[in-house]
Amino acid sequence: MSILPQHHHIIHHAAALGRQHHHHHNHRVYCTSTTRIKTRPKLEPLVINTTPLVTVTPPKIDDPSLKSTWAHRAWVATGCTTVLISLANSIIGSIDSHIWLEPILSGFIGYLFADLGSGVYHWGIDNYGDASTPMFGSQIDAFQGHHKWPWTITKREFANNLHALARVITYTVLPIDLIGHDQPVVMGFVGMASGCIMFSQLFHSWAHGTKSKLPPVVVVLQDAGVLVSRSQHAAHHRPPYNNNYCIVSGVWNKILDEHKVFEALEMVVFFKLGLRPRSWSEPNSDWTEEAETFSTTSLP
């Protein structure tokens, strides 16, 4: 077999590449690396603090927060006077205008309005805000404490229990008395509504009372449904704590609860403002009622 001249050139070129490739294989590559030794961090012993952040105790039996002051009594007297002016204007106006049915009906509507208003207000401060909330902080804080020690409301003195609402009634109703004094229908509504709102905390206190210790007329009115009953309001202080908010007569409680009105309002508030009500959370120790134990030194 003959080899052409051009083939000789190719063979010599291939042999040269082979020698070059063999030459490259004779090189050695050395790699070096340094390894850092990490020091183990010093571990501090874990200490668990079991002390509660806030220690809350119920008021003592001689606690000044349960007593009436002269300022409290003055506000209650002013509030009662304001309500009586409204009712007196309604009666006088009815006599002068010879109408009776309309003022009576407006008074009855005022009574129903007060019960509904007490429920809406009670729902609001039970579910939103805290002690630092402007204007309503003290009421919110008081109602939260009321859920833990509901029986303390029965230990509050009369003016102590009513003075906050009496102050509000004085500021809001007195101007209405001066402006609408010659409107018997309006005055009938305002007088009955404001009176029931101001005394709603007294009705609330009676709902926590013992039947044997309540005045007989109060028990009759509770059993008749004129005032919120003890059994109906007791349901508000049992889980899930999201019903029976009304505390004047309680006539609205069944309607509001069966139609889930407050649950609908909670959804509106959540989607519009992003606020979650407390009723959506599992009740914690702040909502767990502590039983009353009698002591000469403190109220548990």
How far is C-alpha 197 from the geometric centre of its chain's CA atoms? 19
Q: Taking 60 as the threshold, does the pLDDT of residue 263 lie above it?
A: yes
The amino acid at residue 172 is T
Question: Can you give the pLDDT at residue 287?
Answer: 52
Q: What is the pLDDT of residue 147?
A: 77
pLDDT at 162 over 60: yes
Q: Where are the alpha helices (DSSP H) in the chain?
A: 5-24, 70-97, 101-127, 137-148, 158-179, 184-198, 200-207, 216-224, 230-234, 253-258, 261-273
pLDDT of residue 42: 54
pLDDT digits (tens, 9 = 90+) for 26-79: 555 555 555 555 555 554 444 433 333 334 566 666 678 889 999 999 999 999
Helix (H, G, I), strand (E, B) or coil at 24: helix
Rounded mean pLDDT of 253-277? 95
Residues composing the chain: 300
Tokens for 120, please give them.
């809406």
pLDDT value at residue 240 = 84
pLDDT of residue 271 exceeding 90, the answer is yes
Residues 284-293 pLDDT 10s: 555 555 555 5
Say if CB 286 and CB 296 are below 8 A apart: no
pLDDT band of residue 294 (cuts 50, 70, 90) is very low
Query: What's the rounded Cα separation, in Å, for the pair 198 and 168?
Result: 8
Per-residue pLDDT, 15: 47
Res 104 pLDDT > 50: yes
Q: What is the pLDDT of residue 292?
A: 54
pLDDT band at 146 (very low <50, low <70, confident <90, very high): confident
Q: What is the mean pLDDT of the chain?
A: 82
> For the chain, what is the largest distance between any 2 Cα atoms, rounded to a whole number of angstroms?
147
What was the pLDDT predicted at 59? 63
Q: How large is the average pLDDT for residues 146-164?
A: 89
Q: Name the percent of the chain lying above pLDDT 70.
A: 73
Question: What's 44's DSSP letter?
Answer: P
Q: Which CA distances in Å does 228 have to 181, 207, 223, 262, 295?
A: 31, 6, 9, 19, 29
| pLDDT in the model for residue 119 | 96
State the pLDDT at residue 64.
Answer: 80
pTM of the shown model: 0.75
